[in-house]
Structure 1
């Protein structure tokens, strides 16, 4: 028998993969059980409802997103380069075979109107990203109004890449971000 932490990780990882590929509503708990190799009784002991499992998946996705952004930013040499590194991270992600757009936007589209807890988790992740971009904007010495503009470019690139299937959306957003950054710094 696997320990609780291993079972939890296995269920969340499996649910994440299945929900991201097929949608939350299309994936039943039986499919998660079969793929994860964890009994339904154990799954419900760990996650009393499907919403609880969705929230755990969103926390997992938040960790992946935050780590990806942090690693990309850490590799940049300048404050402006750190802002542009967000779009380099997106470019790499958009080229992954499993890319299906932003999991948060996807889940919000499916469940946001029916689950306030899921909607709130998605809103918090988006607000957290905006706060991180705002920190980077301040470090670059740019005006505050630049942060929401760059966040919107990143969000729009995710949606555009998912719908069009064109990973070049990240490069287009990066070029627009570079223009916005240069203009904002010239005006400040």
Structure 2
């Protein structure tokens, strides 16, 4: 096993364990056991748990935002692009392993000690919403802020009661915020 494969196996295991059980509840030895990567190599690749947590969140950020961006940019019409965000959330909320937002979960566990990627992720999500609402037909400078609150609120509600309904309700509210075209 080369370093690239070991890194991938460690990140796969860390993501599954951290997302399901929480960062503080999972030690490095548990990640090592789940990944099958020797402890010496684990610590060579990730010298501290914080570096593994950061790498897990960075990889999750890329995949999560990439998938959301693709879904939101698929429709041609600006209003439909915004609403596609909530349709994507509804699908995500029904995944069998859904446990809420990994970034908010991390912040909830670690508070101010959470890696910077937590704040970066939320800024990137806001930037995506700002891009989607930049069309002159949607001209409302506060719309991206409102949509972010709707999306985050729906995610928090769905974490407690998994299923698509929070996204559907948030979509209904988003429809009221968007001008008809």
Asked whether the two chains share a fold, i.e. TM above 0.5, the reply is yes
Tell me how far 1:165 sits from its aligned partner: 2.8
**1:146 equivalenced with 2:143 (yes/no):** yes
1:118-133 → structure 2 map (5 Å cutoff): 118=115, 120-133=116-129
TM-score when scaled to structure 2? Answer: 0.94
Alignment partners' CA distance in 2, 1:28 and 1:162: 24
Tell me how far 1:18 sits from its aligned partner: 0.5
Q: Which residue, 135, 157, 162 being the options, matches 1:165? A: 162
RMSD across aligned positions (CA):
1.4
Q: Show structure 2 runs of 5+ residues with no match.
A: none
Tell me how far 1:140 sits from its aligned partner: 5.5
- The answer to whether the 8 Å contact 1:80/1:140 transfers is no
Alignment partners' CA distance in 2, 1:174 and 1:37: 43
Give the secondary structure class of the aligned counterpart of 1:60: helix
Q: Show structure 1 runs of 5+ residues with no match.
A: none
Alignment partners' CA distance in 1, 2:132 and 2:64: 16
TM-score when scaled to structure 1? Answer: 0.91
Could you say which residue in structure 2 is the equivalent of 1:105? Answer: 104
Q: Does 1 or 2 have the higher relative contact order (CA < 8 Å, sep 6+)?
A: 2
Instruction: After superposition, give the CA deviation of every residue in 1:72-119 in whole Å (9 maximum; x if it has no partner).
Output: 113213111111111111000000010000000001110123x25x1x
Could you say which residue in structure 1 is the equivalent of 2:131? Answer: 135
Could you say which residue in structure 2 is the equivalent of 1:7? Answer: 6
Give the 3 Å change call, closer, same or farther, for CA 46–77 of structure 1 in structure 2.
same
**1:57 equivalenced with 2:56 (yes/no):** yes
